[in-house]
């Protein structure tokens, strides 16, 4: 199929461009905002080990499957699943898998944009010296005031969504590719500057010990659920993003090798974020388990009291904004592609329609913290793992073997057999066990 069919949206100009884009999709708030605080809440090193296992055994095989499905279908996830289902002669209920991913990405971006807006607001606050010399009470009030101000949140939410849709509207090479070629190198440079600073805090080794020395007494069933859910969240699995990016992938690029590189780069960023953040947390007597407010309520205390803190504060929150935009464009792309393919609408109009819809839903997070918590739990712990489970089963058991072998083009049969076993049995079994825990069957 892919020998003759190409996406109407265009293709990535090179393998490097795809790696940057897919890594940009994976690297986002999940790495820099969420990973450090859930690691802190779940005891540190032991949680990191479980997370890495989830990425290796579940995440990478499913990423390979999702990219492979996208490249074979060459359409948005919804239309790709329709095409692949017909090709395999499978039950038409598999069509709903495409909808599950697109809706999950849409829901995630609705609250993601609000949180990214907080980061934008904090760039300004850091630059103007709002953190300077302030203690925990003052910084907490600063954050509380932002959350209690719908006007401020709506302004920054709107600004972020406008920036996101401005990148998506021009298309694959004209918008997405140009953006990630700037955002991803910039993100790595900023992150390495913060790691360099962390090495001077005096608590660098304490931070490393917390991040890499395991204490399995801290691990619970919920910790395993959180680790697996985050592996899906941070790798952008089950939300249509990787599948639609895969649909723009040229035929001659190795899916397996590229997937491993993307997962490694994503994991490296998450670990570097932890290496940068925890030494600062410990050096200033802050709580590693501070939860979602870690980077908005605790780190500003450190930035406000360190030499040159305003600069490092600006760098950190600019880093956060870069990461957020690189992921946001992939979250909305499946929905935009679907509108273009099904309603004969140009990308600019499709981007405006989907951007406005996402912006409107994001108001729920602006006005209700419980709305955010419910959407976050629904997507990260239920919809994404369910989407990943279905992708694994579809790629491993529904698609014809001759089609998956042709797309993956692995060097030998052993490599293909390993992927097939992981995606057909191990990944689905792991996700299913976690679902049993969610439903209270055990644990």
Write the CB contacts of 400 (distance below 8 Å, at least 6 apart in sequence): 87, 88
Give Cα 36 to chain centroid, integer Å: 14
Q: What is the DSSP string of 16-61?
A: HHHHHHHHHHHSSHIIIIIHHHHHHHTTSHHHHHHHHHHIIIIIHH
Q: Which of 5-9, 17-21, 357-361 has the lowest mean pLDDT?
A: 5-9
Examine the pLDDT at 84 and tell me if it is beyond 50. yes
Give the whole-angstrom CA distance, residue 420 versus residue 422. Answer: 6
The total number of residues shown for the chain amounts to 443
| pLDDT confidence tier of residue 439, bands split at 50, 70 and 90 | low
pLDDT 10s digits, 345-371: 999 999 999 999 999 999 999 999 899
Give the pLDDT of residue 9: 75
Answer yes or no: is 155 within a domain: yes
What CATH number is associated with residue 271?
A: 1.10.4160.10
Query: How many CB atoms are located within 10 Å of the residue 314 CB?
Result: 19
Give the whole-angstrom CA distance, residue 322 versus residue 241. Answer: 18
Q: Tokens standing for 329?
A: 């464009």
Between the alpha carbon of residue 245 and those of residues 69, 128, 332, the distances in Å are 11, 38, 11
Answer yes or no: is 158 within a domain: yes
Answer yes or no: is 3 within a domain: no
Examine the pLDDT at 333 and tell me if it is beyond 70. yes
Give the whole-angstrom CA distance, residue 355 versus residue 367. Answer: 19
Answer yes or no: is 9 within a domain: no
For the ranges 207-211, 222-226, 227-231, the maximum mean pLDDT occurs at 207-211
Give the whole-angstrom CA distance, residue 210 versus residue 45. Answer: 6
Count of domains for the chain: 1
Give the pLDDT of residue 2: 45
Give the pLDDT of residue 383: 85
Answer yes or no: is 7 within a domain: no
Asked if residues 388 and 58 have their Cβ atoms less than 8 Å apart, the reply is yes
Q: Which of 85-89, 285-289, 376-380 has the lowest mean pLDDT?
A: 285-289
- How far is it between the farthest Cα atoms of the chain? 66
Give the whole-angstrom CA distance, residue 204 versus residue 208. Answer: 6
Answer yes or no: is 342 within a domain: yes
The residue segments making up the domain with residue 248 are: 15-438
Region of residue 90 (left: phi > 0; alpha: psi -120 to 50; beta: else): beta
pLDDT 10s digits, 238-281: 888 899 989 988 888 889 989 999 899 888 888 888 898 888 88
Answer yes or no: is 5 within a domain: no
Give the whole-angstrom CA distance, residue 168 versus residue 91. Answer: 33
Give the whole-angstrom CA distance, residue 207 versus residue 322. Answer: 25
Answer yes or no: is 350 within a domain: yes
The structure's pTM equals 0.87
């Amino acid at each position: 199929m892919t020998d003759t069919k190409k996406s109407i949206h265009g293709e990535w100009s090179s393998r490097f461009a795809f790696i940057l884009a897919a890594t940009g999709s994976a690297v986002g708030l999940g790495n820099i905002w969420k990973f450090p605080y859930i690691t802190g809440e779940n005891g540190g090193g032991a949680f990191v080990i479980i997370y890495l296992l989830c990425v290796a055994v579940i995440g990478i095989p499913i990423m390979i499957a999702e990219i492979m499905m996208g490249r074979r279908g060459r359409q948005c996830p919804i239309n790709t699943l329709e095409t692949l289902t017909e090709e395999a002669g499978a039950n038409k209920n598999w069509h709903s898998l495409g909808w599950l991913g697109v809706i999950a990405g849409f829901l995630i971006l609705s609250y993601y944009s609000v949180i990214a807006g907080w980061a934008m607001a904090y760039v300004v606050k850091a630059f103007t010296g709002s953190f300077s010399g302030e203690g925990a009470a003052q910084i907490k009030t600063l954050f509380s005031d932002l959350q209690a101000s719908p006007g401020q949140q709506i302004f920054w939410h709107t600004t972020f969504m406008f920036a996101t849709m401005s990148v998506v509207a021009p298309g694959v090479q004209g918008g997405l590719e140009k953006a990630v070629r700037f955002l991803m190198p910039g993100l790595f440079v900023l992150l390495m500057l913060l790691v360099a600073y962390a090495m001077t805090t005096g608590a660098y080794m304490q931070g490393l010990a917390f991040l890499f020395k395991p204490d399995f007494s801290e691990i619970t069933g919920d910790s395993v659920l959180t680790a697996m859910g985050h592996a899906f969240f941070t790798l952008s699995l089950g939300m249509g993003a990787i599948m639609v990016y895969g649909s723009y992938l040229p035929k001659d690029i190795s899916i397996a090798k590229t997937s491993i590189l993307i997962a490694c780069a994503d994991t490296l960023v998450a670990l570097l974020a932890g290496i940068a953040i925890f030494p600062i947390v410990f050096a200033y007597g802050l709580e590693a388990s501070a939860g979602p407010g870690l980077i908005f309520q605790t780190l500003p205390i450190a930035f406000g009291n360190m030499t040159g803190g305003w600069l490092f504060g600006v760098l950190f929150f600019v880093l956060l904004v870069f990461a957020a935009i690189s992921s946001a464009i992939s979250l909305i792309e499946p929905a935009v592609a679907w509108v273009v393919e099904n309603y004969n609408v140009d990308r600019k109009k499709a981007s405006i329609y989907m951007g406005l819809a996402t912006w409107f839903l994001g108001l729920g997070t602006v006005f209700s913290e419980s709305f955010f918590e419910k959407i976050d739990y629904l997507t990260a712990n239920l919809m994404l793992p369910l989407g990943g489970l279905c992708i694994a089963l579809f790629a491993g058991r529904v698609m014809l073997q001759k089609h998956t072998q042709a797309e993956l083009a692995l060097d030998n049969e052993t490599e293909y057999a390993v992927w097939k076993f992981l995606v057909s049995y191990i990944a689905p079994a792991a996700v299913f066990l976690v679902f049993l825990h969610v439903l209270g069957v055990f644990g």
